[in-house]
Structure 1
Amino acid sequence: MVHVHHKDMRFDRERFLAAYSAALDALWPPHASFEVAGPFGVTRGLRLGPATGEPVVLLHGWGSNAVAWYPTARLLGDSRPVYAIDTLGDAGRSVQHAPISGPDDSAAWLDGVLDGLGLDRAHLVGESYGGWLALNVAARWPGRVASLTVLDPIGLVPLRKRFYVWIVACGSAALAPRPVRHRAATWLTAGALREDGLRRVSLAAVGFKQGIRPPAVLDDASLRRITVPVTVLLGARSAAFDAVRAADRAALLPHGRVEIVPGAGHALRLDRPDVVDRILTG
């Protein structure tokens, strides 16, 4: 058993930023940083790729940050502008000044970031909570969105109670030695546990006080209002929800394409990168 001392549970922002920068240096291709100030705080992120082309905006899952998108940034950055956002209220370089209360505020925040970046229309790619952010803004301001690709997004069906047990188990496994972590990645269907390059960032984020909460399920009317093309990829072994039930709800999307990915869990992009890469480059 791995014991975590109480002092290790206090969030140290300077230590976190040092780990974040080290991971960027080790994993990311050449890039620039950006920041957009708004009513909820200062949103920061990473940009790479050419100056022209249809932009792609990457929205990470809960408890993560823009650094985790490095494989996707490498994949897409040669041919189009790519923006990876540190979601406000999560453990990244963004700084929250005001609470984001509910779906309307979340959509207003993301719309404001797109506006601040000068992106009239963008392709949104989101995983888990980032998938909900993408669906939520598209339901309210579809004119800002060219298309969506959402990876095991929350918000289609209620989360399983055992999802929270899975999160705790993954957190405990992350503290274990490398061989144990990698075995646990298979047991838990949690590809993130194999991400040795991001481990220091994850450990440095321990103790961060989240400024976001699990969102409510999107209602039928909201899903039907999303009129842009949407690709929904669901992990067949997702700990978050039943993939078949989620696929049934996603069928309400007017221009939705739904695929349940065998062998994938909630960390779908890491469990089955071959499938995700095929979709993103297709």
Structure 2
Amino acid sequence: MNDLVEPNIGAAFRGPRLGHFRDAPAFARFRNAYDKAMADLPEPDQTWDVETRFGTVRVYRFGTGDGVPLLLLPGRTASTPMWESNLAGLITQRPVYTVDLLGEPGLSVQTRAFASSADQASWLAELLDGLGLDRVHLVGVSIGGWSAFHLALRVPEKIASVSLLDPASLFGRITWKVVVVSLGSVVPFFPESWRRWLLSWISAGADASDDEPVANLISAGMRDFTAFLPPPTYPTDEQVAGVGAPVLALIAGRSIIHNPRKAAARARRLLPRGVVELWPDASHAINGEFPERVNSRILAFADEIDSADRPYGTGRAGDAQ
């Protein structure tokens, strides 16, 4: 895969607080892991490096069908390959765009520091314009769900629906366990075996060995990339209630990032057009644990939105069985 945009490499990017790889060998290690993980995905139909005020964003389109597309936003220290379990199923029904988040390890290149959480929604809004997308169904996992929520607040006219997969810092405040995992991504010389254990812990024991390409990629990002991201702001009740788009919220019952039942209860109470499900057996890695089930819910939700002559509804769905 050839790139037109040079990555940020080295300490020169620390002063301006731009996400960067620590040195050239660090980027080489990450790029090798990235390419190996991408090899397990369907072949992208198109690839773009889209300019925004905050940097150049790597975007892939999978599938050539018509219809309102899905736009997938990954979790922290992840990138496009984290959707490996979902893409093959999703693209049979709709065109799918995936994004490497600015300021995170991936092939997007940050050129301007983020002054606030609002800046992270701003570049996503610019990205939609750059891609010429007038309307999308957003799908976000973890911090990608937080990003999707704030994008829906910023450009509601472009958002057909929002599907949130155990979103972080949105319906429930982060726990001390998340702080521990975050330390593993920023502390220099953190033992690799501990980093792998943290990855397995946050996903309820999932394989995080060197043989698992996505886990290997995320671990490489944690080890070799330095990020300067504002802490995600926790939305007020008024902000949550202000999302006018239909929202599907799938909350993982075994999640360590928040109290799942309290998060589900807040979402049910506040979302004006929300369908909220608590999946008791799911961990924070919900999209990889239950890919077919997650895909089915996302696609059915998007299909009903697109075919409805009236708003999806104000249902507060109960716990998934």
- Report the TM-score, using the length of structure 2 for normalisation: 0.76
Say what the alpha-carbon RMSD is for the aligned residues.
2.8
Q: Which amino acid aligns with 1:162?
A: K
Q: Which amino acid aligns with 1:204?
A: A
Shift of the 174–82 alpha-carbon distance from structure 1 to 2, 3 Å rule, reads farther
- Write the distance in 2 (CA, Å) between the matches of 1:93 and 1:174: 25
Aligned to 1:4: none
Q: Is the Cα contact below 8 Å between 2:208 and 2:216 reproduced in 1?
A: no
Question: Mapping of 1:98-117 within 5 angstroms?
Answer: 98-117=112-131
SS at match of 2:133: coil
Shift of the 200–169 alpha-carbon distance from structure 1 to 2, 3 Å rule, reads closer
Q: Is the Cα contact below 8 Å between 1:237 and 1:262 reproduced in 2?
A: yes
**Match status 1:165 vs 2:198:** no
The runs of at least 4 aligned residues of structure 1 exceeding 6 Å deviation read 169-174
**Match status 1:79 vs 2:96:** no
**Match status 1:224 vs 2:278:** no
**Match status 1:144 vs 2:158:** yes
Question: Mapping of 1:262-277 within 5 angstroms?
Answer: 262-277=280-295
Q: Which amino acid aligns with 2:101?
A: T
**Match status 1:199 vs 2:215:** yes
Aligned to 2:106: 92
Question: Mapping of 1:113-124 within 5 angstroms?
Answer: 113-124=127-138
**After the TM superposition, which of the residue ranges 9-18 and 163-172 deviates more from structure 2?**
163-172
Deviations 1:199-253 (A, max 9, x none): 3323432131113233011111211111111000111111011011111221211
Q: Which runs of 5+ in 1 are unaligned?
A: 1-8
- Write the distance in 1 (CA, Å) between the matches of 2:109 and 2:265: 37
Aligned to 2:146: 132
**Match status 1:245 vs 2:258:** no
- Write the distance in 2 (CA, Å) between the matches of 1:267 and 1:150: 13
Deviation at 1:186?
Answer: 7.5
Aligned to 1:3: none
- Write the distance in 2 (CA, Å) between the matches of 1:18 and 1:218: 37
Deviation at 1:29?
Answer: 0.7
Deviations 1:21-72 (A, max 9, x none): 22212x1111132111011000002211015221100000011111111222
Q: Which amino acid aligns with 1:277?
A: N
Q: Which amino acid aligns with 1:17?
A: R
SS at match of 2:71: strand
**After the TM superposition, which of the residue ranges 210-219 and 114-123 deviates more from structure 2?**
210-219
- Report the TM-score, using the length of structure 1 for normalisation: 0.86
Shift of the 81–156 alpha-carbon distance from structure 1 to 2, 3 Å rule, reads same
Aligned to 1:70: 84
Identity %: 33
Aligned to 1:29: 42
Shift of the 95–158 alpha-carbon distance from structure 1 to 2, 3 Å rule, reads same
Q: Which amino acid aligns with 2:254?
A: R
**After the TM superposition, which of the residue ranges 13-22 and 221-230 deviates more from structure 2?**
13-22
Q: Which runs of 5+ in 2 are unaligned?
A: 1-20, 301-321
Q: Which amino acid aligns with 1:94?
A: S
Aligned to 1:6: none
